[in-house]
Amino acid sequence: MFLLVRALTYATFFIGFVLVALPAWVAGPAGLERPSVIGWPQVIGGIMLVAGAVVTVSCILTFVAIGRGTPAPFDPPRRLVERGPYAIVRNPMYIGAILALLGAAAFYQSQALAAYAAGFFVVTHLFVIAYEEPTLRNMFGPAYDDYCGRVRRWI
């Protein structure tokens, strides 16, 4: 239970800062306002946002249940997570976050949020290559190499 509380606490801070506060700070000066009419961009954006949130929450729960850890780099899983969304792609949590950001960009029809999502992807990609993959390779050895051979990084 304590593991779940830790994971949800870390996720709340990450989501609150990286997916809510920073995008609001970036898009705020661009005049981010709630649309007066709900049209197709808002419906599609809302679906993308919810889908991204579902993927992200699923990943957090998978880290807790299977990995016996959290998504936080300072409190990582103790076991290699290869099931659930991680059986399809190696970084589904980041994909969920990007999908949610793109959904918000579509909902608000905000180029600033779309640019933030693109920047988030670039920074995330660099973080995955420079830190996460070498760290996981050191932690899990040949099992991680085998996993990388079977499951793609992003698509």
Global confidence as pTM: 0.86
The conformational region for residue 84 under phi > 0 = left, psi -120 to 50 = alpha, else beta, is left
Within 10 A of 150 (CB to CB), how many other CB atoms are there? 9
pLDDT, position 63: 87
The conformational region for residue 31 under phi > 0 = left, psi -120 to 50 = alpha, else beta, is left
Domain ranges of the chain: 2-150
Q: Burial level of 6, CB count in 10 A (0-12/13-18/19+)?
A: middle
- Profile the chain (155 residues) by mean pLDDT over runs of 10 residues: 75 78 75 82 94 92 86 83 95 95 92 93 97 94 96 95
pLDDT digit string, tens, across residues 115-125:
999 999 999 99
